[in-house]
Structure 1
Amino acid sequence: MSLPRIDTGSLFDVAGKSAIIVGATGSFGKVVCATLGKSGARLVVTAGSKDGLATLTAELAEAGIEAVPVNRRPNTETDCDAIVAAAVEAYGSVDILVIASGMNDVSPIVDMAPDRFQKVMTANVDGAWLMARAAGKRMIEQGRGGKVVFTSSARGKLGHPAGYSAYCTSKSAIDGMTKALGCEWGKYGITVNAIAPTVFRSPVTAWMFEDNDNATNVRNGFLARVPIGRLGEPEDLAGPLLFLCSRASDFHTGHIVYADGGYTAG
């Protein structure tokens, strides 16, 4: 048998693709913008903060990355349809959707009012479902496939003792949605996967990287479960993300890709 003819040069090529990034101003959202933008994708960036969005688009422009800002969250069907419409108006298509938005509310369940639980579920699950519905409809109409990437977490698989009942539940729901839509949309050539990080460097987790006794104790306790032996960096998310958004993942759908240094393996 002769060697298979594999075009490795185009496997991870997303140049010219139209990519919607929901929650673009957040820590993971910025990783998505930098990764896809520097790889040549044309971006539609969405966020609820008008000022944050203006700062982000200015930074992207300075880096030579094309981006259309849309000051909306995926709160309603109208919001999501408007985001998709902005991408179609700007670039003529929707090829990639990455949901990078979400929130957490840490509290013991007995102290958490139902509306606080529902707020986490609305932000993490309802918005992702609505946005996938709007973008998926367009991808199906286009008839040339597409890429959908949700943001899950190691906490979608594992529990947590420190009041994560809402967050863990929401991320488990994202895992289920990933599998369901992966099955539902496979016939259209649309792959649906999720990237599931554990702790990685961001403004929220910066304290864990500091050199003091509290940070060291917390960090060491966490690292005892991480075979690679360190916390995550933004670059650790870039590779899996580009894989899931490119032709390289055409035969992968319904998967949860853990970017966690082996945390969930042990």
Structure 2
Amino acid sequence: MTLPTPLDMFDIRGKVALITGASGAFGAVAARVLAGAGARLVLAAGDASALAAIARECREAGAGVHEANARPDSEAACDALVAQAVSGFGALDILVVASGMNKVAKIDEMTPDTFLSVMDANVTQSWLMARAATRQMKAQGRGGKIVLVSSARGLLGHPAGYTAYCASKSAVDGITKALGCELGPTGITVNAIAPTVFRSPLTQWMFDDTDNAKAVREGFLARVPKGRLGEPEDLAGPLLFLSSKASDFYTGHILYADGGYTAG
């Protein structure tokens, strides 16, 4: 048996990728990685100026880019994003759902509307985007790659008012596993990347040299075998793997990018 050339297994040059939440912490990493790997991109985000900035960066890396100032917050919006990929580049090969949110509050202080808003952003919108992409990928008849974004909090609880977030990421894990089973015969793989804390504008304070940051960081790192917090590049390899034919036999998996946090 002859194995494929190793680098060819990770080759996504010319593939069409749609990334939601493209201006956010994970979405921007995804955009940079897939652009650098030669994919053609449809970048979607609700923040127009931040979207323009990441789109410009991807174009400077040589990628073809279409911008969509939109969130996947309805069936029509999700269908329109897939349609934009098809009209702009003729197909859809890779979907990365990096949009989402967290709202932190103790359960006795959280309103039902707040809980439902987190579930909608993280669960319903992931399901709607996966649904829209699945229809297109099935019609193309050549498989495809769907990558959702979960979290270590989909597996583990958190004491600081994370009931909505933990529940939502557990649901994303369930969608990933169920769709992995459902779509296996079609050649469409469905997997999720589940980071723990990694460097982003929202978490930069944890990396700072203040007494509070040190205390929080040291308490967290006591649970991380690798002994450090995550960096954006720690998400790059897993994403490229799940977006390429190297992962053709992998579906329904939750890939923890966590330095061993969930292993202990």
Using structure 2 for the length normalisation, give the TM-score: 0.98
Aligned positions of 1:76-225 closer than 5 A: 76-225=74-223
Aligned residue identity for 2:10: F
The alignment's C-alpha RMSD in Å is 0.9
Aligned to 1:48: 46
Residue in structure 1 matched with residue 25 of structure 2 by the alignment? 27
For residue 231 of structure 1, what is the aligned residue in structure 2?
229
- Deviation, 1:212, is 1.5
Aligned AA (1:138): Q
- Residues 188-233 of structure 1: CA deviation (Å, up to 9, x unaligned): 0000000000000000000111112111111000000000000000
Change in CA separation of 1:5 and 1:55 when aligned onto 2, cut-off 3 Å = closer
Matched, 1:39 2:37: yes
2 CA distance for matches of 1:157 and 1:69?
34
Residue of structure 2 equivalent to 1:256: 254
The code of the aligned residue for 2:127 comes to W
Is the partner of 1:228 in helix, strand or coil?
coil
> How far apart, CA to CA, are the structure 2 residues paired with 1:16 and 1:238?
18
**SS, match of residue 107 in structure 1:** coil
Q: CA deviation at 1:67?
A: 1.1
Question: Counterparts of 1:6 and 1:91 in 2: how far apart (Å)?
Answer: 27
Q: Which moved more, 1:54-63 or 1:238-247?
A: 54-63
Q: Distance in 2 between matches of 1:111 and 1:22?
A: 30
Distance 2:7 2:23 in 1: 31
Amino acid corresponding to residue 159 of structure 1 in structure 2: G
CA distance in 1, matches of 2:3, 2:10: 16
Task: Quote how far apart the aligned CAs of 1:64 are.
Answer: 2.4
TM superposition shift of 1:8: 1.0
Give yes or no for contact 2:230–2:259 (8 Å, CA) kept in 1.
Answer: yes
Matched residue, 2:239: 241
Moved more, 208-217 or 165-174: 208-217
Between 172-181 and 45-54, report the one with greater CA deviation. Answer: 45-54
- Give the structure 1 partner of residue 4 of structure 2: 6
Please say if residues 31 and 54 of structure 2, whose CA atoms lie closer than 8 Å, have aligned partners that are also in contact: no
Is the contact made by 2:22 and 2:44 (CA closer than 8 Å) also made in structure 1? yes
Matched residue, 2:58: 60
Shift of 1:77: 1.0
CA contact (8 A) 2:147 2:242 kept: yes
Letter in 2 for 1:14: I
- Structure 1: any 5+ residue segments left out of the alignment? none
Stretch deviating more after TM superposition (164-173 or 41-50): 41-50
Deviations 1:153-195 (A, max 9, x none): 0000000000000000000000000000001111100000000
What whole-Å deviation, never above 9, does each CA across 1:93-147 have from its counterpart, x for those lacking one? 0000000011000000110000000000010011111111001100001000000
Deviation at 1:4, TM superposition (A): 4.1
- For structure 2, the 5+ residue unaligned runs are none
TM-score of the pair, normalised by structure 1: 0.97
The CA deviation string for residues 229-253 of structure 1, in whole angstroms up to 9 with x for no partner, is 0000000000001000000000000
CA distance in 2: counterparts of 1:5 and 1:30, whole angstroms: 33
Partner residue in 1 for 2:72: 74
Mapped partners of 1:218, 1:251: distance in 2 = 39
Displacement of 1:62: 2.5
